Amino acid sequence: MKKRPSGLFFPEANKVQHETVSASHLCIGLQCGGSDGFASITANPALEAAIDLLSQHGGTGLLSETPEIYGVEHTLTRRAVSQAVGEKLIKRIRWWKNEYSVGRAVQINGQVSSGNQIGGLAKIFEKSLGSSIKCVTGPSPGFDPVSATGQIAGGANLIAFTTGRGSMFSSKPAPCIKLTTNTPMYERLTEDMDINFGESLDDTVSVQEMWQRLFDLFLRTVV
């Protein structure tokens, strides 16, 4: 393919102007990493509520990391638009377990990682429930950098990342919002985190106020 000097594109790029658009232009990739036992009761439910509100405004949420819903896939298939769509998800889960992971250093066997165990997750179902709570789908691996890259390539212009034990992951060109599940971890990593959902766990802020705060952050971040 013939290369073109990047400077040729500058005049066209300079014509682009900022303008106010509706929230329907927002497409958010949903991620989690370093999960703990609080993920399913603080950050992930609040993220789900914020995405529900976004969808009411015509926006989109992308949940990938398909292997991470192993064991609770039925909670999504019963919400599928048709039986065929639900069966497609089941087939994809079986592919990950019975074909892709065989012979590789990948475990889809009901066990959680050592990091998740330290965070208080005893079984894969607890991890999967937290992952599925964020809800909406597009298949990809469970490894955060690969999954988020796929989401951005697929149209995500913002990444929302929940974590309970901490994660230094970030992304470009789409910005990454970091959401913590508990206060102690937020206090250790205040420069890397954006919202502390541990406040709802501490009863200092209501869950409704937390997800409304998150939705407002979505809009401020992409301005």
In the block, residue with structure tokens 């200092």: 204
pLDDT over 70 for what percent of the chain?
79
In a domain, 1, yes or no: no
In a domain, 4, yes or no: no
Question: Using an 8 Å Cβ cutoff, are 148 and 169 in contact?
Answer: yes
| Domain around 78 | 25-221
- 161 or 80, greater pLDDT: 161
The per-residue pLDDT for 128 is: 47
Report how many domains make up the chain: 1
Tell me the average pLDDT of the chain: 81
Q: Residues 70-79, buried b or exposed e (16+ Cβ, 10 A)?
A: bbbbeebeee
In a domain, 29, yes or no: yes
In a domain, 12, yes or no: no
The per-residue pLDDT for 110 is: 53
Instruction: Please state the separation of Cα 99 from the chain's center in Å.
Output: 25
User: What is the mean pLDDT of the segment spanning 7-32?
Assistant: 88
In a domain, 76, yes or no: yes
The per-residue pLDDT for 81 is: 85
In a domain, 17, yes or no: no
pLDDT band at 220 (very low <50, low <70, confident <90, very high): very high
pLDDT band at 116 (very low <50, low <70, confident <90, very high): low
Instruction: Give the range with max mean pLDDT: 32-41, 90-99, 187-196.
Output: 187-196
Q: And the tokens for 20?
A: 């106010």
In a domain, 8, yes or no: no
User: What is the mean pLDDT of the segment spanning 72-92?
Assistant: 83
The per-residue pLDDT for 106 is: 60
Among 21-35, 54-68, 75-89, 90-104, the least confident range: 90-104
pLDDT over 90 for what percent of the chain?
33
Q: And the tokens for 128?
A: 């999967």
For the chain, helix (H) and strand (E) counts, in that order, are 10, 5
pLDDT band at 140 (very low <50, low <70, confident <90, very high): low
- 193 or 138, greater pLDDT: 193
Given a cut of 50, whether residue 133 has pLDDT beyond it is: no
Question: Using an 8 Å Cβ cutoff, are 70 and 107 in contact?
Answer: no
Given a cut of 50, whether residue 31 has pLDDT beyond it is: yes
Distance between CA atoms of residues 162 and 153, nearest Å: 20
In a domain, 161, yes or no: yes
